[in-house]
Structure 1
Amino acid sequence: MNSPEESILNPRITRRRFLQASGAVAGAAGLGVWGGSGTLFTLDAAEAKTETGAAAAETVITKSFCHQCPARCGIDVYTTNGRVHAVYGTLDNPLSNGKLCPKGHYAQYLLYDPDRIKGPMKRTNPKKGRHEDPKFVPISWDEALQTVADRLNALREKGESHRFAVLTGRGWGYTDVGLLKEFGEMYGTPNYNLGHSSMCSDASETVKHFMDGHHAYSAYDYSNCNYLLVFGAGFLEAFRPFNGNMQNWGKMRTKSPKTKVTVVDVHLNTTGSAADRLLLVKPGRDGALALAMAHVILTEGLWDKNFVGDFTDGVNHFKTGAEIAAAFTDKDVKAWQEEQARKAAKKAESDAKAAAKKAEEKAKAQAEIDGLKKKLAAASAKDKPGIQKKLDEALKKQAEAEASAKRIAEQRAALDKDKKPEPRPVAGAETFREKWTVGLIEWWNAELKDRTPEWAEQVCGISAKEIIAVAREFATTKPAVALFERGASAHTNGVYNGMAIHALNALTGNMFAKGGLRGYQMKTAWAKLPIKHEDYMDDYAKSPERKKPRIDMAKTEKWPLVKNMMQEIAVNHLKGEPYKLDTAIIYMTGAVFSGPDCTKWEDAWREVFVIDTSPYPGETNRFADLILPDHTYLERLQIADTYPYEGYPISMIRVPAVKPLYDTKVFGDVIIEIGKRIKGPMAEYYKKVGNTENIIKWMCEGFKDKPGDNGVVDFETFKQKGVWYRKPYAYLQKDGVFYKWDGQGYNYVMSEEEVKVEVMPTPTGKFELKVTELEHHADYVHKRLGIPPEKAPFPQWIEPKHGGDGDLHFISPKLALQAEGRSANLPHATAAMQPAQGGRHDVFLEIHPETAAKRGIQDGDRVRIKNKIGSIEVLARVTQATRPDTVVLPMIHGHWAQGRWAEAKGRLPTGSTNEVTENLSEPLSGLACYHSGLVSVEKV
């Protein structure tokens, strides 16, 4: 019997597929592809001949965009005689600017990957398991699509259409994941697009939604930034957009003044090694650091008064441990009057002393002059010249002193004339008048007054001295940016950590500002489709019976605030709560490997008819019943909006650089073709839609009214340029005033209502330090986190709860070459996978020398990581680059079904980091708590 690898990689194939495979490997050989044994795969000249057989080289440059991260950098694909041989960043694309990150050059490796799946296949072995051979056999597309449609039609006939789900990872736009909403509504399932965002970075989006009204990734103006404060975001490893970040890093670090960078993380990564300051924080305790910074900024009067507001009496009332009343009382007025009287008495006393001193100095000078005059009158002719000289000097000095005194008096009079009278408190009037924030004084009283640097030092492990220094730097070096990601938020207290960090941007006036947090990505001018899916919904789809909860329970009482809960799908299915799935399509996600406590997915997929769409082998393939392989991205026609960048709208198009090498089909067209086979009116809808190319052409009609800055006006010019964009970003906040671009400049001053609608769409139209939505869900917050309901709306410190068990924190970060897991089967990527720790070919567990010594572990030893969830084995890298209480293993480790190089013989037993990561979720955003685990480590 063939091994599972042989079955997946080399199914029983037709002669046509064999020839296609040979052609693809020929292309791979031209790139120098290395086998697991270290030998170079080669082909003879006959096998390497091009399809056309043409002798003369003809090079074509095709516009496309990269696939390796969310940024969607524009790329130029170089094809000669039908073979892709190079990929470069598009020069006139404002995101790539002719440059790519290291991942951008994966394209041809992925196109010519010899492990690619060559066409649709079906499983013939009913048994499913990690070590079971699926015994895939090739089938036609017609059979494959009809198989899916038959299952979906059968579910509909039984009234069980909700048991069909589509699980999605990286969506690219309306022509793939964007199609699923209409499909799901016409078919009748709430599970039409179960996204992976809860296993990605939903906490950061949730924080922004709570505080400034945008459930989105922020756009930053890095190139004009003077201070960058990074909390747990691998800016030079995995923070979006990586290519743009590297370009901006060069600008930030070479401009004058050079941008200062402080990194807060648990280990030394590439970003930390390049920063000015690295603070190794205890895992999950970034929020304590941010709260203490806010305390310093307020007590030292460093907040931005133009954006935030100020005390109405002009006095800083932020005093450690002291509450501030919302309004002045008669007692406050009396205290103010007494204080003014004390100040006046003190000033009068000081003035009197100064006047007496001046009078004494004047009298002394006059006495000296009078004495010299007497001496001069009585002196001999010989002594007179010397005494006269002294007298002249004294008179000159007296005149200069009088002139100086007069000048100072005039200056003081002018200052007194222009000086505004000190504000007088009025009983019942507000103590602090906020401008663009809401709830500052309440936040201070409820939380911040006691969050001193000394308190934070005990909580997060960063010295009070360092906290004070960073707070002062951040508040006084403008413009500045505080950003965070999973390092700070992938914990049970992640949203509150993130709220504390994001509040720093508001306190310092860097929201929507030049060089600060610029805003959010604007929408592209796409035209709407000329056909409405609502017109093709039958009575079944419209029935109240279709209003079932999603299988992940998002937006239910269990998870009322989340967008997705992918990590709950397998658990819920196995429990049958709220029901069992029957059929699932998987698109660009692989929770069998990447989901926390990932072996639960193996149990779930044994019970579900699984349809995988990946063009590559992977852990999901091993459990698939049907494989409908997608094109690789150099073979696709596809569109997508970029995110996040500098705020102004940018959209890209992928134009196929080559015809599909194998019998594959783009995912969007697969959905449309299945739709054509569903009984009822939705089939007519999809017949009229036709295919994804029609959709793209329709959508590009919007460019006629809003042409791109580069002259893109329709589908054809879009293909030629590869990008549509319109600069600049529409909004700017400066000195507490919001401006809108009027075509010539930021000249239009916005009203508060306009700001609320267009810039900060929170319920208050302000940056909410007291979050309205958390006020409305205070009981839920209390139930899940134990926070008193009255404190629920504020950024605050709560202890993280750690999953697993053991004495060491376990962190699984992403790396620069990871490409969200796709690069594990690329030998040139794995050769430099873990640069800061020297990882080559294998990914190492970072462990501190003290920690290693206690366990008898030396560098390079084989070690076992274990807890109540499971165990895996890895190689140890003994390094001072991590905290003694923390071990670090990059998330790319441990693929066991992704291809020949990911599974090379002789390597350690493989196992995902998620086999020792408990399935815990942050309760407000639903983000999987990948960084909250505890483990023990022992030498094998």
Structure 2
Amino acid sequence: MKLFETLMNRRRFLKTSAAAGAAGAAVAGIGGLPGLTPVKEAHAQPVRGETRVTKNICGQCPARCGIDVYTTAGRVHAIYGDLGNPIANGKLCPKGHLGTYFLYDPDRFKGPMKRTNPRKGRDEDPGFVPISWDEALDTIAARLNDLRDRGESFRFAHFYGRGWGASDAGLYGDFGKLYGTPNSAIGHASICAEGSKRAKQATDGNNSYNSYDYRNTNYILNFGAAFLEAFRPYNYLMQVWGHMRTKSPQTRVTTVDVRMNPTMAASDRAVYIKPATDGAMALAIAHVMLTEGLWDQEFVGDFRDGRNAFRAGRPIPRGSFEERWVRGIEEWWNDELKDRTPEWAESITTVPARTIVTVAREFGTTRPAMAIMERGPTSHTNGTYNGMAIHALNALSGCLFAEGGMYYQMGPSYGPLPVNSDDFMDDYAKEIRGKYPRIDKAGTAEWPMAGTMIQETAEHHLKGDPYKLDTAMFFYTNPIWTAPDPKVWEEALKDVFIIDTSPFPGETAMYADIIVPEPTYLERLQDSPTYPFEGWPMAALRVPAVDPIYDTKHFGDTLIEIGKRIKGPTGDFYKALDNVENVLRHRAKGFENDPGDNGVRDFESWKAKGVWYKKPYHWRQFRGEFYEWDGEGYNRQMTPEEVKEKLIKTPSGKFEFKSGFLEAHADYIQRELGVPARRVGLPQWVEPTSSGEGDLYFVTPKTPMHAEGRSGNIPHAIALMQPVAGGRTTVYLEIHPETARARGIRNGDRVRIRSNLGFVEAYCRYVASNRPDTLVMPMEHGHWAQGRWARGRLPGHSGEITENVSDPISGLASYYAGMVTVERA
């Protein structure tokens, strides 16, 4: 009936339009015909109200791009990149404009709530009812005070995903110290990208991501970093890609991966590699660089007699190589590298030996050149060793701290808090400190080298080992969906009092006993020091574009308000902090003595400009010597002791081809990975362990529209999800045609992917440019909560068939280590 009415209305419209056109033509005459009636003067639409532009920071990924938010008549209607922000430069990526979708999402939580249904599960309605903020905060504080009175404060845990700065995640340490829990806070890095950080800690002493001088590099050897898809900072990388590919000389790019993605498609060379074997290829490249004399002698050193003694299969005499800024190259060659020929690597990686030689020669003869990596090589049980082998190439090329190379990020010149937490430690806090391990056991004998192990928490709680949690608070993380084997979390959180702070109804929120929702990033005041970028320090500021449209509270203020209600000196500390704005005003006082390049010198100018930054990076390595910025140039040469303190923070003060950090844990590594104790420090080939009994690798990358795990409930994001396979309304399982046909699977069929944990279903898409032994299914859908557009959307959730296996060294979850089968559903 509605269709018929629509057609009739359209018919009347066309009929009326034709009559009006004929009548007009009869009057005005055009081209020999009667003329048309003169057009009326055009008028602009009436002004709806004053338009205000506020400075903010995009919240769609870790990039932290500055944005200008346009608000008219109290409504946000446009978001653009901030011209004054060095990451954004007036530009945004495709998902940067999604902020209004977040702000006006009809499924958002509208205010604090409490649970009325004591049962928890996927099919249980929480029965949330509204409560006041005072009731919510008093309930939480009463529970925490009771735990502390019983000497069980350690049974409270904070969990967080994306921490932004001093106004949120920066408050955790003091809370844990004063309240008395080792679990404040447990971060998500072990289900993100901890592997690359640990590889760098093992070799150059920095437990951090690199910052990069992309503008001046001439060669990028990219192992599994989705540079034009989901690497950080994504928006800036798309900008700098254009510069690199048009400058003279043009930056050449070789991408090593298991699937075709935008980065591989845009590269000069695409190298398809067997999953988990990137380290073997890197070792072979290092082998070629040494045997052919392509290493940077001014950084690495040279043979004392000036003649290259690196020969395949032959050890070099001890003491024959004079090292400069490296340690252990002789042992690395003799005990590992001499036998890692391109032919050997081909048998491991399936990459032709001639390709490895070509890449090695290009990389070794181009200056500056850098090797970058991310989750592709490191998301396996041998991830740290893969990462070490790749990062070793940066030492051989001499790009560390050099122009066109890689650095480490400097922090902002923040001032201190108004009070010092050390002055508010009571006897209980002092007594309990260090008495109990973390619930995830990071830093214990079980995971001695891991900084965090969030994925272990649920199982530890279920076993009561080392203890049971009583209460847990979640900020910017949803482990019931993001963690591997998340059904374990569903079971574990049934008997934990859950406090969730998300603005959105995610899976973890459905288990909450108390909801204390945050506003979205467009509604809150919040600082954000930059993720590793170009090295020099930067800190942006979120300024609310509108007052919170619902009854929400910034997480930092929620935490401070809970703290005020804790008995004893802890409450006094948080009363002195007062609120987030007070915290940020004190942090901004540090800018008075170190004003930014854009004139920011206090809180008000920070709000007006949206960002403080201070160029240049303070250190530079040039032809094997290190120099420090003296205010006018890199004029002050550094001593080896200063290099060790500020830059290469290893035990030796040099890049270690034999890692002292790993040698300190030799027994553990030998037990967990089977590496002989005398060899644990060497970048080396370690056979990966795969989970599952299938015959196909299962890889679950992020897509360009992956918006911090929340894009599943954004229709615009869903429509643009998968650029290579063309997913719309879903993401496809990418499968090679030969692999599919051998199993009787047609393009577009509904299929079932099965692991030891069970199965999920998806629609498949033939992708001939992926490896035949690898299935690819981006981690986007399969939600059973999150909102009306997210719930029940195929494919099923990849995490439900991803076993909880981790790299023993970094603790990074081995998301790409699973072996699965696929069949028609």
Aligned residue number for residue 229 of structure 2:
237
Q: How many residues align?
A: 780
Write the letter of the residue equivalent to 1:193: A
Aligned-pair CA distance for 1:685: 1.0
- Match in the other structure for 1:391: none
Quote the Cα distance in structure 1 between the aligned partners of 2:433 and 2:622.
52
- C-alpha separation between the residues in 2 aligned to 1:798 and 1:820? 32
Matched, 1:313 2:301: no
Task: Give the whole-Å Cα distance in 2 for the aligned partners of 1:645 and 1:816.
Answer: 19
2:598 is aligned to 710
Scaled by the length of structure 1, what TM-score is found?
0.82
Distance 1:545 1:589 in 2: 26
Question: Does the CA contact (< 8 Å) of 1:596 and 1:917 recur in 2?
Answer: yes
Q: Distance in 2 between matches of 1:616 and 1:222?
A: 37
Superposed, which structure 2 residues align to 1:401-420 within 5 Å?
none
Within 5 Å, which residues of 2 pair with 1:821-836?
821-836=709-724
Which residue is equivalent to 1:437?
326
The CA deviation at 1:56 is: 4.1
SS of residue paired to 2:356:
helix
Shift of 1:805: 2.2
- CA displacement 1:92-133 (0-9 Å, x = unmatched): 111111111112111111011111100001111111111111
Give aligned-pair identity as a percent: 59
Q: 2:341 aligns with which of 452, 459, 469?
A: 452
Q: Distance in 2 between matches of 1:805 and 1:900?
A: 36
Secondary structure of the residue aligned to 2:495 is coil
In 2, distance between residues paired with 1:843 and 1:65?
28
Residue pairs, 1:121-270, within 5 angstroms: 121-270=113-262
Deviations 1:374-428 (A, max 9, x none): xxxxxxxxxxxxxxxxxxxxxxxxxxxxxxxxxxxxxxxxxxxxxxxxxxxxxxx
Contact 2:538 2:613 in 1 (8 A): yes
Question: Secondary structure in 2 aligned to 1:931?
Answer: coil
Q: Which residue of the other structure, out of 882, 903, 922, is the alignment partner of 2:791?
A: 903
Structure 2 residue 72 is matched with structure 1 residue 94: no
Partner of 2:459: 571
Give the whole-Å Cα distance in 1 for the aligned partners of 2:632 and 2:47.
54
Q: Is the 8 A contact 2:182 2:433 kept in 1?
A: no
Matched, 1:485 2:374: yes
**2:817 aligned with 1:932:** yes
1:739 alignment partner, SS class: strand
Report Cα offsets for 1:757-796 as digits up to 9, x if no partner: 1111211111111101111111111011000000000000
Mapped partners of 1:742, 1:453: distance in 2: 45
Higher helix share: 1
Matched, 1:755 2:747: no
Partners of 1:683 and 1:723 in 2: CA distance? 32
Correspondence list, 1:599-748, <5 A? 599-748=487-636
Deviation at 1:872, TM superposition (A): 0.4
How far apart, in 1, do the equivalents of 2:131 and 2:124 lie? Answer: 21
Contact 2:418/2:577 (<8 A) preserved: no
Q: Alignment partner of 1:127: what SS? A: coil
> Residue 630 of structure 2 aligns to which amino acid in structure 1?
D
Distance in 2 (alpha carbons) for counterparts of 1:545 and 1:831:
50
| Partner of residue 400, structure 1 | none
Q: 1:474 aligns with which of 353, 359, 363?
A: 363
Partner of 1:16: none
Structure 2 length as normaliser, TM-score?
0.94
| SS of residue in 2 equivalent to 1:804 | coil
Measured against aligned partners, the alpha-carbon deviations of 1:344-399 in whole angstroms (never above 9, x if no partner) come to xxxxxxxxxxxxxxxxxxxxxxxxxxxxxxxxxxxxxxxxxxxxxxxxxxxxxxxx
Partner of 1:404: none
Which amino acid in the other structure matches residue 329 of structure 2?
L
Instruction: Give, as a single letter, the amino acid of the residue that structure 2 aligns with 1:152.
Output: L
CA RMSD of aligned residues (A): 1.1
Give the match for residue 791 of structure 1. Answer: 679
Contact 1:188 1:546 in 2 (8 A): no
Take 1:76 and 1:549, find their aligned partners in 2: how far apart are those partners? Answer: 44
**Structure 1 equivalent of residue 439 of structure 2:** 551
Mapped partners of 1:587, 1:530: distance in 2: 25
Q: What are the equivalent positions in structure 2 for 1:799-818 lying under 5 Å apart?
A: 799-818=687-706
Distance, in Å, in 1 between the alignment partners of 2:505 and 2:53 is 29
- Structure 2 counterpart of 1:573, which letter? H
Distance in 1, matches of 2:796 and 2:428, equals 44
Q: Give the structure 1 partner of residue 10 of structure 2.
A: none
Aligned to 2:99, what secondary structure does the other structure show? Answer: helix
- 2:70 pairs with 1:78: yes
Aligned to 1:339: none
In structure 2, stretches of 5+ residues that fail to align are 1-45
Shift of 1:55: 6.2
Report the Cα distance in structure 2 between the residues aligned to 1:834 and 1:805, rounded to whole angstroms.
28
**Aligned residue for 2:777?**
889
Contact 1:204 1:498 in 2 (8 A): yes
Moved over 6 A (4+): none
Matching residue's letter, 2:498? V
Q: Cα deviations across residues 573-602 of structure 1 (Å, max 9, x unaligned)?
A: 011100000100000011101101111000
One-letter amino acid matched to 1:872 = V
Is 1:534 matched with 2:422? Answer: yes
User: Matches of 1:711 and 1:859 in 2, distance apart?
Assistant: 58
Which structure 2 residues correspond to residues 514-525 of structure 1 after superposition, within 5 A? Answer: 514-517=403-406, 519-525=407-413
1:497 to 2:497 alignment:
no
Counterparts of 1:448 and 1:689, CA distance in 2: 55
Q: Specify the alignment match of 1:29 in structure 2.
A: none
1:544 Cα deviation (Å)? 4.3
- Measured after TM superposition, the shift of residue 755 of structure 1 is 1.0
Q: Distance in 1 between matches of 2:542 and 2:435?
A: 37
Task: Write the distance in 2 (CA, Å) between the matches of 1:743 and 1:935.
Answer: 57
Structure 1 CA distance for aligned equivalents of residues 760 and 808 of structure 2: 28
**SS of structure 1 residue aligned to 2:710:** helix
Deviation at 1:545, TM superposition (A): 6.9
- Which residue pairs with 1:507 in the alignment? 396
